Amino acid sequence: MDNTILKQIKQGDKRAFSLLVDRFQKPLFSYLGKMGLSQAIAEEVAQETFIRAWQAREKFDPARAAVITWLFTIARRLAINEFQRAMHRYERVNNHQSLEEYADEASHASLSNQEQHQLLSYALSKLPVDDRSLVALAYIKEFEFSAISEIENIPVGTVKSRLYRIRQQLKTTLNGGQ
Amino acid sequence: MNKQTNKAFTDSELDELLHISASATPPEHFTQQVMASINALPQTIQNRPTWWQWLALTLGGVPAIMQTLAFMFSAWHVAAIG
Amino acid sequence: MNHIKPRHPLMAAGMSLILPGFGQLYNGMVNRGLLVFMAFTLVTLPLVLWVTFSLPTSMTLALLILTVMINAGIWIYGIVDAWKTAKNNENYILKDWQLPAVYLLIFLSAIFYFVPSMSQYMRTNLVESFSVPSVSMAPSVLQGDILFANKNYNCVGCAQAAKRGDIAIFINPNNRTQYYIKRIVGLPGDRIRIEGHQVMVNSVSLSKGDVDETSNVTVITEKAGNIEYQVQYNRRFNKPLKEFIVPNGEVFVLGDNRNNSKDSRHFGTVPLQDVVGKASQVWMSRSEDGFRWERLGLVLK
């Protein structure tokens, strides 16, 4: 996002801000979905992210962070808050209870695409929320490890090692482990 | 029918799955939706207290602090004896 | 459309500085503001009341210092709380009542009515400090002493009634703009007679013996009521006082420094209703040579 647009946004130019919304909505929704939020909740969180970004526009310093990092930091915090709402957790648990058996027996080759996706969602839901965020960020094409490290506020080395561990964990779950 | 072997997920299969799965997508006209909410926000008056408010604070502050201190130390306020 | 007016932390803190609880009002927190103000003002009163009513006199100084510290603590809490709340209130929506006139009304009534009234109440009814410029009560109370006087004294519902031996603060009968400090020696109905160095109350001499004569000063121990104290004379000859009876509603007072004191021997008995307080504890003492630290906290009897 080039500097003139950012400057205009900081000065209160709503049209410029709408360009930012256009540019970043897809990766944002991608991230929120991969985090495990349903479409409806993802929409709410995405909207709230942009609104908060607009309200905090004067505090954003382009020299200190890329706008995408800043934006996703907001989104991450909002998404984590969502998970701390009991209702949501309850919904998710319900969706995936039946899949436990599923994961045990079937060979992945026989699973349809949709079933594979559901299995993955299930596996993701078993992860702690910080790990989910890490994985979600890693698998959106916009992010380098350095950006992830900034958003998650952990060293780059830790990002890599945690990602490795998480992928191992996901594989285990998908292959019928606990 | 062949017996299905339990083939485990490989790393690259996992990666592929993670890349394309579990995404949500922005609805049509999402940008318009967001901008509409922003327009509906309460107007921010990013103002700081005016000069006359600071003046009132300091001018009023002098007798006020004196009275507050006087109360705090009312037992210590010395009256003269003839 | 609602207006967002972010709260400015320095303004909030400043308002709580000049009047405890005021900054909380600025932040829209009426309940907390009132509580801070009430804690600051009303917490002190019962504590001081307790001190003057039932605690031993020796604890007066310590407890009054404690109440000052509690007040200071509440005051500081109010300032810090106002600051922190304002800082976190980015999107504060102004409440309908937050108008300059409202702030002014609350400020004026607090500063020019409530707070001064409570100060006045404290001084008139509970504790007041007095500085002693005269030598008339030496050696018990010295020139340069600053003392607490218990005002919860000699009034309806008060802790103590006036009694013989009390060091009392009263209004100068001949000049009602002044306070005097002397010792009450005779109560209404007492027969008083003075002969030489002897003061006779109801035919009993106050002197307990213990005459101590050095160069020019004679120090005698006296006991009035239950209270024992030293008095001093620096003249051999003292004008005698023929026996008379203290009228109803009045008391007979004498300065301990008998030859340097204008008291009831000169201006007659003092109406009880003009006796406003009883000297209790010295909290500072200054002579020409500096501070008399040894007198700090001295309980006056």
Say if residue C137's pLDDT is above 90.
yes
A153-170 residue pLDDT tens: 889 899 899 988 888 888
The per-residue pLDDT for C72 is: 95
Among C11, C238, C277, which Cα is nearest to C125's?
Answer: C277
Q: In chain B, which residues have their Cβ closer than 8 Å to the Cβ of C120?
A: 74
Say if residue A178's pLDDT is above 70.
no
pLDDT category of residue C155 using cuts at 50, 70 and 90: very high
**C146 and C103, same domain (yes or no):** no
Report how many domains make up chain A.
Answer: 1
Average pLDDT of span C14-26: 95
Write out the residue range of the structural domain in which residue C287 sits.
Answer: 132-295
Let me know if residue C4 belongs to a domain: no
CB A56 within 8 A of CB B37: no
Query: Which of B7, B24, B41 lies nearest to residue A33, judging by beta carbons?
Result: B24
Average pLDDT, chain A: 80
Report how many domains make up chain C.
Answer: 2
Say if residue B5's pLDDT is above 50.
no
**C200 and C237, same domain (yes or no):** yes
The per-residue pLDDT for A99 is: 52
pLDDT category of residue A94 using cuts at 50, 70 and 90: very low
The per-residue pLDDT for C201 is: 94
Residue whose entry in the numeric block shows the structure tokens 């285990």: A172
Tell me which of C104, C127, C150 is where a domain ends: C127
B14 to chain A, any CB pair closer than 8 A? The answer is: yes
Write out the residue range of the structural domain in which residue A120 sits.
Answer: 3-174
The per-residue pLDDT for C56 is: 87
Pick from B71, B73, B77 the residue to mutate for testing the C interface (most C CBs within 10 Å): B71
Report the distance separating Cα C7 and Cα C82, nearest Å. 10
Which is higher by pLDDT, B17 or C269?
Answer: C269
Average pLDDT of span C75-99: 89
Say if residue B6's pLDDT is above 80.
no
Of all residues in chain C, what percent carry a pLDDT higher than 70? 99
Say if residue C283's pLDDT is above 90.
yes
**C155 and C287, same domain (yes or no):** yes
Can you give the CATH number for the domain in which A16 is found? 1.10.1740.10
Which is higher by pLDDT, C236 or C98?
Answer: C98
Let me know if residue C301 belongs to a domain: no
Helix (H) or strand (E) holding C103: helix C100-109
Say if residue A120's pLDDT is above 70.
yes
Quick one: tokens of C32? Answer: 């907390």
**C98 and C159, same domain (yes or no):** no
What's the ipTM? 0.83
Q: In chain B, which residues have their Cβ closer than 8 Å to the Cβ of C172?
A: 82
**C249 and C222, same domain (yes or no):** yes
Report the distance separating Cα C42 and Cα C40, nearest Å. 6
pLDDT category of residue C43 using cuts at 50, 70 and 90: confident
Among A69, A62, A56, which Cα is nearest to A142's?
Answer: A69
CB C281 within 8 A of CB C61: yes
Chain B closest-CA separation from residue A139 CA (Å): 5
The per-residue pLDDT for B72 is: 92
Tell me whether residues A47 and B37 touch, CB distance under 8 A: yes
- Quick check: bond before C139 cis, omega within 30? yes
**C120 and C136, same domain (yes or no):** no
- Residue A122 CA, chain-centre distance (Å), reads 15
The per-residue pLDDT for B2 is: 40
**C199 and C59, same domain (yes or no):** no
Q: Where are the domains of chain B?
A: 51-77
Say if residue A93's pLDDT is above 70.
no
**C91 and C153, same domain (yes or no):** no
**C116 and C31, same domain (yes or no):** yes
Average pLDDT, chain C: 91
A3-51 residue pLDDT tens: 888 888 888 888 889 999 999 999 999 898 888 888 888 999 999 999 9
Say if residue C6's pLDDT is above 60.
yes
**C123 and C136, same domain (yes or no):** no
